[in-house]
Amino acid sequence: MTEPDLTPRPVSASHTTMTELMMPHMANVLGNVFGGVILSLVDRVAAVAAIRHAGGPCVTVSVDQVDFKEPIHVGELVVAKASVNYVGRTSMEVGVHIHAEDVPTGKQRHTNTCYVTFVAIDKEGRPRRVASVVPESSEERRRYAEAEARRASRRRHLEGRP
């Protein structure tokens, strides 16, 4: 069995963008896109970012709180952007930003942000080590520090501590 490549990787190596045009079957009777449609896109774009970083299969472990700031409507283009914010031993936090675009004008509205945690797995489905992430810009360093704090909070929560 070959060992995974643990060479540290820049955040930019995981950048992923997906777009999807919102169609009538994706919406309720008011023309607002179902939250589940957006959550599915969030999971998919985050998975690609995690797999790019880990260099192999990853599974979703958790999705942090998702607040829908504004509705997304039929006919809008949803732009989902993701990148790895933080890496533990086997897990990664991926940040996801969602924008809705009015296609004729190109005007975009920020509608969602959330964080998805993934674990890299080996061929037997067991967690495996992943390379560390190297934040290069001040924005990436800020996201890394915030992700580190969220990770500590999640761990305390799982252990039943405040």
Tens of pLDDT along the chain (162 residues) come to 567 789 999 999 999 999 999 999 999 999 999 999 999 999 999 999 999 999 999 999 999 989 899 999 999 999 999 999 999 999 999 999 999 999 999 999 999 999 999 999 999 999 999 999 999 999 999 999 999 999 988 888 878 876
- Listed by start position, the domains of the chain span 9-158
DSSP lists the bridge partners of residue 120 as: 58
Residue type (1 letter), 57: P
> In angstroms, rounded to a whole number, what is the distance separating the alpha carbons of residues 84 and 67?
20
- Dmax over CA atoms of the chain, in Å, equals 53
Please tell me the predicted confidence (pLDDT) of residue 39. Answer: 97
Question: What pLDDT shows up at residue 155?
Answer: 83
11, 32, 56, 61, 94 from 50: Cα distances, Å: 11, 29, 9, 12, 7
Nearest alpha-carbon partner for 50 in 119, 142, 134: 119
pTM for this model (two decimals) = 0.93
Region of 98 please: left (phi>0), alpha (psi -120 to 50) or beta.
Answer: beta
Dist CA 104 CA 39 (whole Å):
25
Q: Tell me what pLDDT residue 74 has.
A: 98
> What pLDDT was estimated at residue 2?
63
Q: What would be the CATH architecture of the domain defined by 9-158?
A: Roll (3.10)
